[in-house]
Structure 1
């Protein structure tokens, strides 16, 4: 496919998991993809190599999100490789580890710094680079739709609810430029972030799969397909939405 030929995309946290799946799918659709990473340079380089081996175009860039100057560092690195942007995917994020009683101030602040503040300022400073008719897609979570389902991750869920509020507000503001702004809300996906769920154990995997009427555990490819639609011209009449990509687990 070449639906994104001539477009440039940036995927934060694009070296692993859902981010890698998105980066590879956008490249397969013809986009030149900036694969952002924070620490794992080798993983980012492997993602770039996989994209290039499949005939796509990509480059890696580093910036530690959640720290002072993170957006500035990210865009400075991007500007060395590209002169404009068409698709911004805010995928990078971290998960919480405890409910309200077990969440200390340090973890709370870290969650908000990476999951809320970073994408806010990455978008803010990227708008001068994002061409009219562009796309912004931010990864939310099914937990933001049903907060009561995951009370043990309340601080994390709060950050994703904030992302959805940002999505709706920006869709209104950026609409006159033809820029669509949407969020994608995965459920449980088989990635390193969900290692605590022991998805490599057959019984645990089967129990998680039963949560979806489709009888599967989510994969990065499932989410990447939804993001690819939102990045394409076919999504031109969809904006300000949070797309449920939980495989029906919220039904």
Structure 2
């Protein structure tokens, strides 16, 4: 589901995600804006080959599938890199892997998960309502959700305002899509709630771009993974490691 989110209830409804006021994942829980790294910095079908997949080297010195142009955008301080690699420029199917940089400079991959991105694929010039996910490297500072904080070190906004209703492009329910979200710093102010609607690049550039719970179909612009994987991400991402997301189709990321 990627969705351009508004801080208002109306905007959330447009995003089309709705939640139930309970923890949907049992013990998994403890109780859309745009900002590039130039601003300081189960359900999806998996493609057989993707740059998100680990190479034969279990501890590579560079993250496989990322070309020099893409790697140059990753801040030197970042020790956690979430790679969301799309199957094709016009595809809504992706693979997601969290890479961690070790003390010796090598990179260690986590599990690779099936994911969704925007309905019409990827773009380097994202605009509101274009049904594309932005390509680039973006910082990850803030999280939140309709469900309680599952144990993240990121600032977490637990709010019923993450509730939204409706159905997705394939007719699937969006009821639990915003149970957990991580704001992607595209056209937003880092250090604020994912619900904050400030858009430094202007409203025409879209916003409300999040990593959120997968609902079984394409998003409006976000990246979505299964609920257990969202919990894993929230518990693993560390502000001290300056996490970023590298997102785009595999061919674009290889440049």
User: TM-score w.r.t. structure 2 length?
Assistant: 0.24
Larger Rg, first or second structure (1 or 2): 1
Greater relative CO (CA pairs within 8 A, separation 6+) = 2
User: TM-score w.r.t. structure 1 length?
Assistant: 0.25
Relative to its length, the structure with more helix (as a share) is 1
